[in-house]
Amino acid sequence: MSTGYGAPYVAEPQRPGWPARLGPLIVPAGTVRLRPLRLRDGGEWSRIRLRDHAYLERWEPTQPGSWRERNAVAAWPSQWATLRRLAKRGQCFPFAITVDDVFAGQLTIGNVIRAALRSAWIGYWVSSELAGGGVATAAVALATDHAFTEGRLHRLEATVRPENVASLRVLGKAGYRREGLFRRYLEVQGEWRDHLCYALTAEETGDGVVALLVASGGASMPEQR
C-alpha cells in the first residue's frame, strides 16, 4: 500500500503556469487562443450556455438549481470568483477559449495536486455554433503542453461518458490514452453515469501535443500560412 503522495493537498506558495495566455493556433473555425477567464465574459458565457442548454447539460455534473438559474448572467460573478480563488491558490487553471478573439467556451484544468503526484483533470466545452471546427482539440493541445511545461504537471486525466463521441474524438486527436471505465462515476442529469478514463503523462507527448496536431494537419501556426 502506498504511504501517500507527500502532502499533495498542501497549497504550494507559488502557482507555476498561472496566469497564462496560450496560442494562437489556427483551425477551420478560426484562430484559437486561451486566456484567463474575465468577469466581463459573463454576458457571452450566459448567452451561449442558455442557448446550448440541450447540447451541454447531458455531459455536465448535476448541480443545484435550474439550468436557467445556474447559467444566468447573475450567476457568473460568483462562479468566476470561485475559479479565480482556486487559481490563485494554484489548484486550478480556469481558461476562456476564444476564437478570433471572441469568447467561445471554457477549458479548465482542475484539482491540481502537486508533490509526487503532480496531476490534474482537464474539462472543456465549446459553443455549438463552432462544432466540428477543431476548436476543442486545439484548446486541449495548447493546455496540455502548457500543463506539462510551465505548469510543471506530470499527468492529466479526462473522464468522458462513453456516449460522448465528440469528446472522445477530441481526446483521441490530442493523443490521450484510454485507461479504463469508472462505473457510476459522476452524477449527470440525476443519474450516476459510467465514464471512460483517458490520460496522458508528460513523457508520452514527445515534441508536444500542438506539434502532433500541426504535423497531422489538424491545426497550423500563423507563420505557416
Binding of ligand COA by 135 (CB under 6 A) = yes
Residue closer to ligand COA by CB (options 90, 134) is: 134
Binding of ligand COA by 181 (CB under 6 A) = no
Binds ligand COA by CB under 6 A, chosen from 25, 126, 212, 219: 126
Minimum CB separation from ligand COA for residue 162, in Å? 11
The count of chain residues that interact with ligand COA, using the rule CB under 6 A, is: 21
Q: For residues 172 and 185, what is the distance between their CA atoms, to the nearest angstrom?
A: 21
Binds ligand COA by CB under 6 A, chosen from 34, 48, 56, 99: 56
Q: Which stretch binds ligand COA (CB under 6 A): 11-19, 41-49, 120-128, 208-216?
A: 120-128
DSSP-assigned states of every residue in the chain: ----SSSTTSPPSS-TT-S--EEEEEETTEEEEEEE--GGGHHHHHHHHHHTHHHHHTTSBP-SS-HHHHTSGGGHHHHHHHHHHHHHTTS-EEEEEEETTEEEEEEEEEEEE-TTT-EEEEEEEE-GGGTTSSHHHHHHHHHHHHHHTTT---EEEEEE-TT-HHHHHHHHHTTPEEEEEEEEEEEETTEEEEEEEEEEEGGGSTT-HHHHHHHTTS-B-GGG-
Binds ligand COA by CB under 6 A, chosen from 10, 11, 74, 131: 131
Q: For residues 154 and 94, what is the distance between their CA atoms, to the nearest angstrom?
A: 18
Minimum CB separation from ligand COA for residue 116, in Å? 27
Q: What are phi and psi of 175, to 5 degrees?
A: 90, 10
Residue closer to ligand COA by CB (options 15, 96) is: 96
User: At which residue does the C-alpha cell 504550494 appear?
Assistant: 12
**Interface positions, 1-30, toward ligand COA (CB under 6 A):** none
Binding of ligand COA by 132 (CB under 6 A) = yes
Residue closer to ligand COA by CB (options 56, 86) is: 56
Binding of ligand COA by 39 (CB under 6 A) = no
Minimum CB separation from ligand COA for residue 171, in Å? 8
Binding of ligand COA by 122 (CB under 6 A) = no
Binding of ligand COA by 166 (CB under 6 A) = yes
Binding of ligand COA by 102 (CB under 6 A) = no
Is the distance from CB of 173 to CB of 136 less than 8 angstroms?
no
Residues that bind ligand COA (CB under 6 A): 55-56, 59, 124-126, 130-137, 160, 164-167, 169-170
